[in-house]
Amino acid sequence: AQSVTQLGSHVSVSEGALVLLRCNYSSSVPPYLFWYVQYPNQGLQLLLKYTSAATLVKGINGFEAEFKKSETSFHLTKPSAHMSDAAEYFCAVSDSSGTYKYIFGTGTRLKVLA
Amino acid sequence: DSGVTQTPKHLITATGQRVTLRCSPRSGDLSVYWYQQSLDQGLQFLIQYYNGEERAKGNILERFSAQQFPDLHSELNLSSLELGDSALYFCASSARTGEGNTIYFGEGSWLTVV
């Protein structure tokens, strides 16, 4: 079965610093991978998605993620953190076992310090 | 605004009661997903429907049931409610079912069981 692991349930960065949120996946077949963001009291919003077209995926709000097959990773980065980036971030993989359900990681709460 | 509409936004009910959560998918989307988000369990997949038929089942309790109607809206029925059922319930939709399809989330229905 496919799965994702997000390392670090809480990450704090200073405003203007690099944001790095880690996600590792487990899959026996090429996966589809997603990053979603959840702001307080809101639903999940798609940041970006990997569909094998390119290993470096650019998303909204200046975020990007790089698919590394050798490391089974899909880490999310942003060069310069903004206060408005404070939120919870979820990595997800599309299940290719035939059920097509999306498996979500446990989430990483990003705190941006002034 | 993702285009996925969920009602009610907040609901408080007593143990043993039954509630129905409603979801209208994005215009044109055939697939509907239900997720439960709680502090201790994270984001858990419950069930998926595609064009009125059940397609995938996750960690859905027997006390819970769902359906998708001909107009494609969906309802999640929760019965014999327990304190532990208190959670945020998300509906999501996608155009089709299958790998790589982006799913769009509603803002959720907050259920509090007292």
Question: What pLDDT, on a 0 to 100 scale, did the predictor assign at position B102?
Answer: 83
**B contact test, residue of A102, A104, A109 with most B CBs within 10 A:** A102
Per-residue pLDDT band at A30 (split at 50, 70, 90): confident
**A contact test, residue of B21, B26, B37, B43 with most A CBs within 10 A:** B43
Question: What pLDDT, on a 0 to 100 scale, did the predictor assign at position A100?
Answer: 61
Give the CA angle between residues B23, A2, B58 to the nearest 5°.
35
CA gap B92, B102 in Å, rounded: 10
Q: Where are the beta strands (DSSP E) in A1-114?
A: 3-7, 10-14, 19-26, 33-38, 44-50, 56-58, 64-68, 73-78, 87-94, 102-104, 108-113
Give the CA angle between residues A61, A22, A57 to the nearest 5°.
45
| Furthest-apart CA atoms within chain A: distance in Å | 46
Q: Are B102 and A34 in contact (CB under 8 A)?
A: yes
Q: Looking at this protein, which amino acid is placed at residue A79?
A: P
**Closest Cα in chain A, distance from residue B2 (Å):** 8
B98 or A70, greater pLDDT: A70
**Closest Cα in chain A, distance from residue B105 (Å):** 6
Question: What pLDDT, on a 0 to 100 scale, did the predictor assign at position B97?
Answer: 66
Give contacts of B48 with chain A, Cβ < 8 Å.
99-101
**Closest Cα in chain A, distance from residue B9 (Å):** 10
Question: What pLDDT, on a 0 to 100 scale, did the predictor assign at position A95?
Answer: 67
Question: What pLDDT, on a 0 to 100 scale, did the predictor assign at position A9?
Answer: 92
pLDDT mean across residues, chain B: 92
Question: What pLDDT, on a 0 to 100 scale, did the predictor assign at position B99?
Answer: 61
